[in-house]
């Protein structure tokens, strides 16, 4: 299993966050990338709103969550619970 993240931050700002979370973070998310994901872009702050995906075998998206603001992020324990549910269903 792997965790991936991306941010509008670049350089040192992205590196600080990456050091805090302990996994790689893609840098420099643009409006074009947000549009390709179907995510909301905040033009006032030039940021992508939370867009989260759980990707299964064959790169199939098995869960997606989009937010139009700063709330409704998927919590780690919720993602783990969802993965457990999916694994149990497949048995």
Q: What are phi and psi of 44, to 5 degrees?
A: -70, -40
pTM, entire model: 0.70
Question: Which pLDDT score, from 0 to 100, does residue 31 have?
Answer: 95
CB 79 within 8 A of CB 40: no
Tell me: the pLDDT tens digits for 28-52?
Answer: 999 999 999 888 999 999 999 988 8
Question: Which pLDDT score, from 0 to 100, does residue 11 have?
Answer: 87
Q: Which stretches of the chain drop beneath a pLDDT of 70? A: 1, 91
Q: What are phi and psi of 59, to 5 degrees?
A: 60, 30
């Amino acid at each position: 299993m792997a965790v991936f993240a991306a941010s509008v931050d670049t350089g040192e700002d992205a590196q600080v966050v990456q050091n805090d979370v302990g996994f790689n973070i893609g840098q420099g998310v643009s409006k074009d990338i947000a549009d390709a994901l179907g995510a909301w872009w905040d033009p006032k702050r030039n940021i992508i709103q939370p867009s989260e995906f759980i990707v299964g075998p064959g790169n199939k998206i098995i869960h997606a969550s989009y937010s139009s603001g700063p709330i409704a992020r998927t919590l780690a324990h919720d993602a783990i619970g969802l993965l457990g549910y999916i694994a149990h269903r497949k048995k």
